[in-house]
Structure 1
Amino acid sequence: MNQYSENSYYQNTGGGGFLSGSPYGNANGSPGDFGRNRPGGSHSLRPVTIRQIRDATQPHTDSDWKIDNVDVGQVTVVAQVLRCAAQTTNSVYTLDDGTGTIEARHWNDANEGENPEDIEKHERTYVRVMGNIKAYNDKRYINATRIRSCDDPIEPFFHALDSMAATLFYERGHPGKPNSGNEASVATTSRNETVAPARGTSAYTSQTQKLPDEYNNLPALEYSICMFLREQPKSKDGYHLHVICKGIKNPDHQGVGRAMDRLMDEGLVYSTIDDNNYNLCIDTEA
């Protein structure tokens, strides 16, 4: 599902956004390295702030621009038009989104001259600008391919959040994926349940082992149960609740039992020979 194709703010933009399953492009690879130095980023539409454009880098004049060391192609900005001027070959808009100011240049169609009155109507209004980052005489600007008015007063706020989401996506990857295979995370549980060992230091996980996506968002107790079952030899009879409690070093049988019920509701474990023996629903082989 493409976030941009279903969002009214990105409609009629020639496809807008990434034409892949992710809203911000290809997410193959390790977390924390999403889109870095990948050609896919140069063929995408990324929501950004003016400050991000002003902080963008370009190794040399023929290379792609980079934002936070991620290749960026087309960008989209929502900002207020402070000034606009129609010239012979292009129209110049001075934009301000609260993080900085920048000029956007929209080149006139050879067959359609720009009407100065149509240009001036944008002054002191919010617009969405789409285009590429350019520089001339060390001055950065947006080479705009499309400029339209923002009729929805919520759109500037949406864009600010969208820019944050895109930045976090490239920094950390998809929501729910682990930040690092070796980092410990702090988790809390309810109902006075004992907190399991941190994920990065669990006795039942290898530090270099890639963990299944199904487990990444689990609370600490449920996570430790799944990791324990995953590391045990295959058994069609499963493992008894007492064995699981002993294995994860949690003496609260009732709390672990409730956690098992939640895992069954999630479709991650199932009972085997009776209501006290459990197995993982997925293949436990590495």
Structure 2
Amino acid sequence: MALTMLDYGYNNKYSTSYGANGATDGGGFVAGEPQSSPAGGKGGYGKDTVRPVTIKQIIDAQQPHPDADFRADGEPFVQVTFVGQIRSISTQPTNITYKVDDGTGIVEVKQWIDGDANPDKMDVEPNKPRLVEDGYCRVWGRLKAFNNKRHIGAHIIRPITDYNEIFYHLLEATAVHLFFTRGPPPSAQSNGQKTGAANGVGESRQEFATAGDSALPNVSPLARRVFNTLKNTPQSNEGLHVQMIASQMGMPVSDVYKGAEELLAIGIIFTTVDDNTWAVLEA
């Protein structure tokens, strides 16, 4: 069962490269141990839904007995995403352990090493951002407990290069907390204001996603072709790699990059698993 992100109603109606939805649209991983969602949860929320949290929420989460699900704000969860600063990195033959601090607490994040992978061939791109001590990262993973000590089994951990992502995540975690403790927010229509139109960005992005190519702003024909290829080519949640787009369009990779840069700049597409893989921002 693919992991999903619930629309909690606090104006988070768009998928982005910042949000917890990055674990599906961005990471594209599938839960290793599919579990059924609890019957009747709020708004269809299931425990395998990726939940944005703070580390304090991870530490304070309740677990009645070792086989029970963890709970925060009264709701069960397994998969989490959070951001923080890497305080230390410890490399072992089978795993890498990161101590991550987000200002509310510290938790260990373990990423298991693929035994078939050749470490000499990993991260060979010299310009690719790396995970380093004191750097910031985003984590997607599963909360686990062993010998009464909690840690995160990481599906994905990547460096943060845009520090707006840190503030975005804290706001998103707050919105989810409010959803479960106070219920859904009043409709934004009740005060006569259109949801997402306060700064004009949300409204324009919705138009891009619903109206498609006809609603694109003044972009070059090249960017328009890249957009149409991304939108209409069958793909996984990870989107399409630049090489695949170039093959589909029958043009050099360098030209695809030029068109994609225009689309990235105006927020119509976003990067997923790496800087060379993109997906269309859907409303």
Q: When the two structures are superposed, what TM-score results if normalisation uses the length of structure 2?
A: 0.51
Match of 2:157 among 147, 156, 181: 147
1:93 is aligned to 2:98: yes
Match of 2:141 in 1: 131
CA RMSD of aligned residues (A): 3.5
Equivalent position amino acid for 2:165 in 1? E
| Structure 1 CA distance for aligned equivalents of residues 147 and 178 of structure 2 | 32
Counterpart for residue 16 of structure 2: 7
SS for the counterpart of 1:41 is coil
Instruction: Indicate the percent of aligned positions where both proteins have the same amino acid.
Output: 40
Deviations along 1:195-232, whole A, 9 cap, x unmatched? xxxxxxxxxxxxxxxxxx98x668xxxxxxxxxxxxxx
Q: Shift of the alpha carbon at 1:175? A: 1.1
Output the amino acid matched with 1:77: F
How many angstroms does 1:98 deviate by? 0.3
What is the distance in 2 between the residues matched to 1:9 and 1:103? 22
Residue 173 of structure 1 corresponds to 183
Residues 127-178 of structure 1 show CA distances to partners (whole Å, capped at 9, x for unaligned) of: 000111111111111111100111101111111111100100111222107x
The runs of 5 or more residues in structure 1 that have no matched partner are: 18-25, 178-212, 219-286
Name the SS of the counterpart of 2:68 in structure 1.
Answer: coil
1:48-87 alignment runs, 5 A limit: 48-87=53-92
CA distance in 1, matches of 2:13, 2:94: 31
Alpha carbons of structure 1 residues 4 and 59: separation in structure 2 relative to 1, 3 Å? farther
SS in 2 for 1:169: helix
1:112 CA drift (Å): 1.5
Deviates more, 1:100-109 or 1:1-10: 1-10
CA distance in structure 2 between the partners assigned to 1:16 and 1:72 by the alignment:
20
Contact 1:65/1:72 (8 A) holds in 2: yes
Task: Output the CA distance in 2 between the equivalents of 1:4 and 1:84.
Answer: 36
* Residues 66 and 114 of structure 1, relative CA distance in 2, 3 Å threshold: farther
Aligned equivalents of 2:169 and 2:177: distance in 1? Answer: 12
In 1, Cα distance between equivalents of 2:119 and 2:173: 30
- d(CA) in 1 for partners of 2:155, 2:86: 16
Q: Equivalents in 1 of 2:160, 2:13: separation in Å?
A: 16
Residues of 1 paired with 2:169 and 2:59: CA distance? Answer: 17
Rg larger for: 1
Partner Cα separation in structure 2 for residue 105 and residue 62 of structure 1: 21
Q: Which amino acid aligns with 2:85?
A: Q
Of 132, 153, 165, which aligns to 1:122?
132
What does residue range 1-286 of structure 1 map to in structure 2 within 5 Å?
Answer: 3=12, 6-10=15-19, 13-15=23-25, 34=42, 40-113=45-118, 121-176=131-186
Asked if the contact 2:130–2:159 (Cα under 8 Å) also holds between the matched residues in 1, the reply is: no
Contact 1:4 1:16 in 2 (8 A): no
CA contact (8 A) 1:91 1:105 kept: yes
Secondary structure at 2:161 match in 1: coil
1:188 corresponds to which residue?
none
| TM-score, normalised by the number of residues in structure 1 | 0.51
Higher helix share: 2
Q: How many residues align?
A: 167
Partners of 1:113 and 1:5 lie apart in 2 by: 38
In the superposition, relative to structure 1, how do residues 121 and 143 fare at CA in structure 2: closer, same or farther (>3 Å)? Answer: closer
Q: Distance in 2 between matches of 1:171 and 1:16?
A: 28
Note if contact 2:17-2:26 (Cα within 8 Å) is conserved in structure 1.
no
Looking at structure 2, the residues matched to 52 and 122 of structure 1 have their Cα atoms a distance apart, in angstroms, of 25
* Contact 1:128 1:149 (8 Å CA) reproduced: yes
Question: What is the DSSP-based 3-state SS (H/G/I as helix, E as strand, rest coil) of the residue aligned with 1:133?
Answer: strand
Unaligned runs of 5+ in 2: 1-5, 28-36, 124-128, 193-283
Question: Which one is further off, 88-97 or 119-128?
Answer: 119-128
| Cα distance in 1 between the residues matched to 2:92 and 2:52 | 28
Give, as a single letter, the amino acid of the residue that structure 2 aligns with 1:140: R
> Shift of the alpha carbon at 1:5?
6.3
